[in-house]
């Protein structure tokens, strides 16, 4: 990654929390923020890979203030425990990067019954953000960065009568279709949440921005795909976006003074971009927020 041309702050003394940081763009962003002096708290459900990422980041940056904590974002008890660990061990939180994600053609639901893509990428990050929000606000100005995707454009939107995506999971023949539609809904939900928080919380306290890493980034997010989609990924992988380039936006939004006070925007390659018209549907957004809150009221 080339950051020499980017206007970035010295992050010494600032605490950055990054989910899904064992590999891909989360790992790359963590490495670059460590080089800027940040204290890092990383999580992932791949324990060995996460520990290796921590060791590599320390070795490459010379920054010893890097912690890895095992956490599977599909498990709300683990998310709660991770959030509490952060609150118990760090007096401040300056940056939260909600990066954890997946594309899995096998249907799977979390313990609370919600489909895995929505549980991990939207509900898990909602739970973590809401828990850390008082700490973020107390150390204003702070930043929350939601890693969405332009896949939020590629579908019909959120069907509140079928939040489990049962209509699109029709067995192995349609598994990849089901996975991508579920992925689309979860990434759209992340954009809705970003805009809702941006309206609720003053930008002087915490800014909220969503990121598209670019279409088909060369990470292992497609590792669970099979059949025709697996073949397509294999053939076209050499043409996928460079994750080093895609992760620049993470670092820019986390560390650049250029974005001070900018909130409620959608970004790609360090530039603002319009999100889909669907993502600006106020009624659907409000319905999603009410549904989301209800998941944690029981």
12/172 Cα distance (integer angstroms): 49
146/187 Cα distance (integer angstroms): 9
Residue with the bigger pLDDT between 254 and 216: it is 254
Query: What does residue 115 show for φ and ψ, rounded to 5 degrees?
Result: -60, 145
| Helix, coil or strand: residue 61 | helix
Judge whether residue 238 has pLDDT over 50: no
With beta carbons less than 8 A apart as the criterion, state whether 149 and 202 touch: no
Question: What's the angle, vertex CA 20, arms to CA 38 and CA 27, rounded to 5?
Answer: 50
Bridge-based pairing of strands 95-98 and 39-44 is unpaired
Instruction: Evaluate whether residue 41 is within a structural domain.
Output: yes
Q: Mean per-residue pLDDT for 255-262?
A: 99
What's the longest Cα–Cα distance across the chain? 51
pLDDT of amino acid 19: 99
275/292 Cα distance (integer angstroms): 21
Instruction: Evaluate whether residue 9 is within a structural domain.
Output: no
pLDDT of amino acid 244: 86
Phi-psi region of 13 (alpha: psi -120 to 50; beta: other; left: phi over 0): left
The chain-wide mean pLDDT, for the chain, equals: 90
Q: Which residue has the tokens 């209800």?
A: 294
Q: How confident is the model at residue 2 (pLDDT cuts 50, 70, 90)?
A: low
* High-pLDDT (> 90) share of the chain, %: 74
Which of 70, 174, 183, 215 is flagged as catalytic? Answer: 183
Judge whether residue 263 has pLDDT over 50: yes
**Considering only CA atoms, which of 84, 102, 101 is closest in space to residue 93?**
84
Q: Mean per-residue pLDDT for 17-36?
A: 98
Instruction: Evaluate whether residue 110 is within a structural domain.
Output: yes
pLDDT of amino acid 241: 60
* High-pLDDT (> 70) share of the chain, %: 86
Judge whether residue 45 has pLDDT over 90: yes
Enclosing domain of residue 168: 15-295
Residue 188 burial by Cβ neighbours in a 10 Å radius (0-12, 13-18, 19+): buried
Instruction: Evaluate whether residue 10 is within a structural domain.
Output: no
Q: Mean per-residue pLDDT for 228-245?
A: 55
Judge whether residue 219 has pLDDT over 50: no
Instruction: Evaluate whether residue 213 is within a structural domain.
Output: yes
178/165 Cα distance (integer angstroms): 7
pLDDT of amino acid 178: 73
Instruction: Evaluate whether residue 51 is within a structural domain.
Output: yes
Judge whether residue 270 has pLDDT over 80: yes
Q: For position 55, which CATH number holds?
A: 3.40.50.720
Instruction: Evaluate whether residue 64 is within a structural domain.
Output: yes
Question: What's the angle, vertex CA 285, arms to CA 156 and CA 149, rounded to 5?
Answer: 55
Residue with the bigger pLDDT between 50 and 230: it is 50
Judge whether residue 222 has pLDDT over 70: no
Residue with the bigger pLDDT between 233 and 269: it is 269
Instruction: Evaluate whether residue 96 is within a structural domain.
Output: yes
* Residue 266 among the catalytic residues: no
Residues 153-190: tens digit of each pLDDT = 988 899 999 888 777 766 544 445 677 889 999 999 99
Q: Mean per-residue pLDDT for 196-204?
A: 99
With beta carbons less than 8 A apart as the criterion, state whether 1 and 255 touch: no
Phi-psi region of 91 (alpha: psi -120 to 50; beta: other; left: phi over 0): alpha
The total of structural domains in the chain comes to: 1
């Amino acid at each position: 990654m080339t950051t020499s041309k980017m206007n970035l702050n010295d992050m010494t003394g600032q605490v950055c929390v990054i989910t899904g940081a064992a590999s891909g763009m989360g790992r790359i962003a963590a490495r670059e923020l460590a080089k800027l002096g940040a204290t890092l708290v990383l999580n992932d459900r791949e324990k060995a890979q996460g520990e290796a990422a921590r060791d590599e980041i320390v070795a490459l940056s010379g920054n010893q203030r890097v912690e890895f904590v095992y956490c599977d974002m599909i498990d709300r008890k683990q998310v709660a425990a991770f959030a509490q660990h952060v609150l118990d061990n760090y007096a401040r939180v300056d940056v939260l990067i909600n990066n954890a994600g997946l594309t899995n053609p096998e249907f799977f639901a979390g313990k609370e019954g919600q489909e895995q893509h929505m549980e991990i990428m939207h509900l898990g990050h909602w739970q973590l953000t809401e828990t850390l929000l008082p700490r973020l606000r107390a150390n204003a100005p702070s930043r929350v960065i939601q890693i969405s995707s332009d896949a939020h454009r590629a579908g019909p939107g959120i069907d509140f009568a079928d939040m489990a995506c049962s209509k699109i999971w029709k067995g192995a023949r349609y598994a990849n279709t089901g996975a991508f539609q579920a992925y689309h809904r979860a990434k759209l939900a992340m954009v809705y949440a970003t805009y809702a928080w941006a309206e609720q919380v003053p930008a002087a306290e915490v800014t909220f921005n969503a990121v598209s890493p670019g279409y088909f980034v060369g990470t292992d997010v497609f590792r669970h795909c099979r059949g025709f989609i697996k073949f397509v990924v294999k053939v076209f992988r050499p043409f996928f976006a460079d994750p080093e380039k895609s992760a620049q936006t993470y670092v820019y939004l986390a560390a650049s003074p250029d974005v001070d006070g900018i909130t409620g925007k959608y970004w790609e390659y360090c530039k603002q971009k319009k999100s889909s018209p669907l993502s600006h549907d106020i009624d659907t957004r409000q319905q999603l927020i009410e549904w989301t809150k209800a998941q944690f009221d029981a």
